[in-house]
């Protein structure tokens, strides 16, 4: 039992560090300059990610009216945004040849 807990703790820490690395990489990719194709890829990726975040927050507001107020965990929200951003970024790079 003790060994399984330490494996779970190590997997959780690895997952947390991976999410932190995705958050940092998201900011770095937005700040790096590039040519027109790269700007188009980042523009489309950012637009789609923003749309998903707005839809998520809108759904959260509606659910808070129905069930009562439950705060959003900022780390989980940032993690979902970073994962969504990189999935969309990989898709757009593949679509536009980058």
Query: Model confidence over 59-76: pLDDT tens digits?
Result: 989 988 998 888 888 888
For the entire predicted model, the pTM comes to 0.72
How far is it, in rounded angstroms, from Cα 29 to Cα 45? 11
**2, 61 contact by CB (below 8 A):** no
Half-sphere exposure of 70 (CA within 13 A, CB side): 10
Q: pLDDT tens digits, residue range 11-61? A: 888 988 988 888 888 888 878 877 888 888 888 988 999 999 999 999 989
For residues 56 and 1, the model is more confident at 56
Say which residues have a Cβ less than 8 Å from residue 86's Cβ, sequence separation at least 6.
22, 25, 26
């Amino acid at each position: 039992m003790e060994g399984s807990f330490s494996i779970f703790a190590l997997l959780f820490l690895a997952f947390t560090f991976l999410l932190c690395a995705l958050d940092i990489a998201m900011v770095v990719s937005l700040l790096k300059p590039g040519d027109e194709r790269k700007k188009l890829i980042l523009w489309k990726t950012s637009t789609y990610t923003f749309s998903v975040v707005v839809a998520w927050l809108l759904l959260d507001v509606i659910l808070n009216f129905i069930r009562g107020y439950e705060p959003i965990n900022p780390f989980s929200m940032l993690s979902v945004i970073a994962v969504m951003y990189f999935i969309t970024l990989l898709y757009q790079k593949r679509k536009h040849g980058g």
